[in-house]
Amino acid sequence: MQRLLSEEWRTLHWPSAVGACISVATATANFFLPVYFKSELGFTGSQIGLLYALFSVMTILAVVPIGFRNDQSSPRLLVALSLVLISAAAAGMAVATGFIPYLMVFLLYGLGLSAFRISIDALMFKTGNGQETGRRFGWFNAFKMAGFGVGTVGAGYLLKARGFPGTLGLIAAITFLTLFLIPFLSSVRVGFPRLRDYLSDFQEPGILAFVTWLFLFSLHWGAEMTSYGLFLRERLELSLAGMGWYMGAEYLVLAATCFWAGLRYDRGLDMRTLAIPGLVLSGLGQILMCVPVLWFSLLSRCIHGIGDGLIVIVFYVGVARLFNLSRIGGHSSVANLVMMMGSFFGSLAFGPMGERFGYDKPLLATGALAVLLALPVIFARSGEKAAPGRAGK
């Protein structure tokens, strides 16, 4: 028991376990929801796009205040509050049927997910003094992505056995039970940073380039939210169980890549060397997965997962290296805000595009964009290589 309450467990393993539990829960509906919206609730492509666009707006409006709050109070408390929101919203989604009622609870669900993601990340950024940065973030994200993989594989069978309402009710239950792990998380000393300190940090050219790059890369999430599940269902003609195995395989590859990339960063591999193959593999994998041959499409999607795994570590290490620890809750929330805005514009553009031109077209377009994003990284001056870091600087 003493070991389970040690500093390493409270600052790494327990947060990773909480993240994995929520990943397992939310993955059971993640990319499957557009199928539910279209086939069972009868929503149009424009309505689906609007749902995800407003979902993104909700998170955009909430993410920065949540991040600032994580600098002024313990992230552990905000993690607990976010779990309550997710649980209540998932229960509401299980019973809502009309577009407007569903929109209301879906937005609450988005608020809860946003608050959880920002707060659990803030806890990770603010704790773990002396632990290796790459290993720490690699381990945390490997658990999270493995949770998505397990949840996604199980989702197909759950959805077949319980249907969408029953599965959403299960999400509510798992999220509520995760609250019992909150006392095991580390409490963080808080401060009261000034707004001008946050603003001055963002005047650095390297930070501006970093967040611009994040925005453009995150456009592909909007395409995936609105088109990925429907592409698998209608173009590859997969069953719900088949969709679960397809998506779950990518997440397991992503988890392994996060862990490997974190260790490699600690051994001297710099962020630029991780980012270039990450962008190329992510983009090419997304393009080639649109070939309607199941084995080839799945292999390509796993290649996309390798690329995304490298970019995940670039994001976490980049935030940890670029921003001041006492203000990192607010700063990481701004970085997340930029990515959510990319997802928002992607949802708005690619929802109608997928319905009109085919669900492969948004995936092809954003895959090409990811490859193009590698070019400025390739031709930029490498600058100072990132030295292996320690968390809690």
SS3 for 390? Answer: strand
> Long-range contact list for 32-38, CB < 8 A, 24+ apart?
32/155, 32/159, 32/164, 32/229, 32/240, 32/243, 33/229, 34/225, 34/226, 34/227, 34/229, 34/230, 35/229, 35/230, 35/233, 35/240, 35/243, 36/164, 38/230
What does each C-alpha distance from 311 to 138, 258, 308, 355 come to in angstroms? 11, 9, 5, 29
pLDDT digits (tens, 9 = 90+) for 316-355: 998 888 887 778 888 888 888 888 888 888 888 887 888 8
Token representation of residue 251: 């997440």
Max CA separation in the chain (angstroms): 59
Q: What share of the chain is helix, strand, coil (3-state, %, to 5)?
A: 80, 0, 15
Q: Cβ neighbours of residue 246 under 8 Å, at least 6 residues apart?
A: 232, 236, 238, 298, 301
pLDDT at 275: 93
Q: What is the mean pLDDT of each run of 10 residues along the chain (393 residues)?
A: 73 93 85 81 84 79 85 89 96 91 92 92 84 89 93 84 89 94 84 69 75 88 85 89 88 95 91 93 96 96 96 91 80 84 83 85 93 86 44 44
Contact status, residue 199 vs residue 327, Cβ threshold 8 Å: no
pLDDT at 270: 87
pLDDT at 381: 55
pLDDT at 130: 65
Write b or e for each residue in 30-55: b if 16 or more Cβ atoms lie within 10 A of its Cβ, otherwise e.
bbbbbbbbbeebebebebbbbbbbbb
Assigned superfamily of 3-180+196-379: MFS general substrate transporter like domains (1.20.1250.20)
pLDDT at 386: 41
Rg of the chain in Å (alpha carbons): 20
- Amino acid at position 76, single letter: R
